[in-house]
Amino acid sequence: MSGIKQLANQTVWYGLSNIVGRFVNYLLNPILTYIYAPEQFGDISILYAYAAFLNIIFTYGMETSYFRFNQQIEEKKVFNTGLTSLIISTTIFSLILLLPAQHVANFMEIGQHPEYVMYVVAIVALDTLAVLPFSKIRFEGRPRKFALIKLLNILMNVGLIIFFLFVCKPLQEKGGTGFLSSIYKPDIGIGYVFIAGVIASAFTLLFLSKELSEYRPSFNKKLFLELLIYSTPLIVVGFGGVINETIDRFMIVHRFNGTITASKAANGIYSANNKLAILIVIFIQTFRMGAEPFFFKNSTKENAKETYSRIMNFFVIASCLCFLGVVLFLDVWKYFMGINKHPEYLDGLYIVPVLMLSKLFLGIYYNLSIWYKLTNRNNIGALITFIGATITIIINYIFIPSMGFLACAIANFVCYGSMMAISYFLGQRHYPIPYEWKKCIVYILVAYGLYLMHQALRNTNQNIIIVHGTGILLMTAFMFYVGKKEKSELIKIPLLKKLYRGV
């Protein structure tokens, strides 16, 4: 249980930056969807999708390689060689990608603004240089500093966007002639969202100056090749992951049955509703921040596999609570889109439960994926991701013209469900872990059943007090059910032990 406590402690701090930061960032959703119509919000989402692809190219799995090889080689050597390679490659990639910016902008149907592409490249380049300093902080077990810097980055980013759009923009529109009004240029449009990102990423590097000061330019060719060989399959995994998460934005624009404006609007509606899965996404990413170094550090312990199994149980339980926290209260979450000014965003609300289940499957897959990382079978992980990406592309390509963005949600569900199943069966062959799958499946089915019950009530009763009150009761019922099933584990936690005694 001490291992789980250690993971929980680190996850709390990583979660602080992730949860608070992402919720602050999430507040941009109602702001941006209020200011921008779906077609403009669609442009923002497709540029972020482009950034996600570039991030895989620029970092090429060096973060995970750093964690892996620190177990075998002196940390300084890994850090110096890894950061040297990232500095060189980032410079080369940036120069190469800035040249065809106009062509990329044309592909994304924003040909009149190639500078948007340049802003994205700048953000990715700066963030890449921060990858290993952040990894160093995580590996050395300093989650508080990690949390603080991440929060400062997000607060600065959001603060600048609000400054540009709610201070400078109104002053300019009122005909102001001062300095603040001169900052805002209408022709830049959504570019201010990305200019804020460039500034925030630049300041993040300054906040990491202590870690960067420990860098000594050196390059061990043999070590670099080992790092690259280990990370190469992870690049494929990363690309597959980005395809699964973001390729639908590009495909909606090019496969949607309608005009370019209509396809951009559909993309904006889909992207805005996709963000309503924020709770489970935050939890998954928070968990990964603490879990990856924890799994590597504890892989040699005698009871490692049993620990991984218990962690899976709690992960599924927490994910189910996140699922219920969103789908039972969609009438509240929908206001995190600018529906008062742009009610068309509501057209995509019905896909949120499907997306939530998809994210749950993805989280379980991330848990399962530790087997191929610990056994150096990253090539199998790459194959699984390739299968998932193929499923995503095929379903989207075939069904977007007839089903619209519903096809994207279904593609996510089928893709992550397939990846989860394949990873489990292969993992049990190469690195068997005694997962309590029957229990996990029951938790998911119970959570989904509670959602269906609530949906049936919502369809027949529009009284908000009754609908929301029932939602609270159903969540409470799920927690009591879990508390009974997991009593032997939960009672080991001092605070919960007192609660059990009081019941």
364: its two tokens = 């379980």
Pairwise CA distance, residues 159 & 200, whole Å: 10
User: If pLDDT is split at 50, 70 and 90, which confidence band does 500 have?
Assistant: low
The mean per-residue pLDDT over the stretch 268-280 comes to 86
Pairwise CA distance, residues 150 & 20, whole Å: 10
CA-based angle 144:287:280, to the nearest 5?
Answer: 120
321: its two tokens = 């609570």
With 0-12 / 13-18 / 19 or more C-beta atoms within 10 angstroms meaning exposed / middle / buried, residue 251 is buried
The predicted-structure confidence for 170-210, as pLDDT tens digits, reads as follows 999 888 778 888 899 989 989 999 999 999 999 999 999 99
Whether the pLDDT of residue 345 is over 80: the answer is yes
Position of tokens 């040699």? 300
271: its two tokens = 């992207």
Query: What does the pLDDT read at residue 126?
Result: 96
pTM for this one?
0.80
The predicted-structure confidence for 349-408, as pLDDT tens digits, reads as follows 999 999 999 999 999 998 888 888 778 787 888 889 889 999 999 999 999 999 999 999
- Would you tell me how many other CB atoms lie within 10 Å of the CB of residue 99? 8
- Would you tell me how many other CB atoms lie within 10 Å of the CB of residue 255? 17
350 alpha carbon, distance to own chain's centre:
21
Average per-residue pLDDT for the chain: 86
The predicted-structure confidence for 238-273, as pLDDT tens digits, reads as follows 888 888 888 999 899 889 998 888 999 999 999 999
- Non-local (6+) Cβ contacts of 185 within 8 A are 172
Decide: 18 and 285 in contact? Cβ < 8 Å: yes
Query: What does the pLDDT read at residue 342?
Result: 85
CA-based angle 441:373:55, to the nearest 5?
Answer: 95
Q: What total number of domains does the chain contain?
A: 1
Sign of CA dihedral 485, 488, 489, 492: positive
The mean per-residue pLDDT over the stretch 451-455 comes to 95
268: its two tokens = 């904006």
Using CA atoms in the order 47, 50, 54, 55, what is the torsion angle rounded to 10 degrees?
Answer: 70
The predicted-structure confidence for 9-65, as pLDDT tens digits, reads as follows 555 666 666 666 667 667 788 888 888 889 898 999 889 888 988 999 999 888 888
The range of the structural domain enclosing residue 208 comes to 2-502
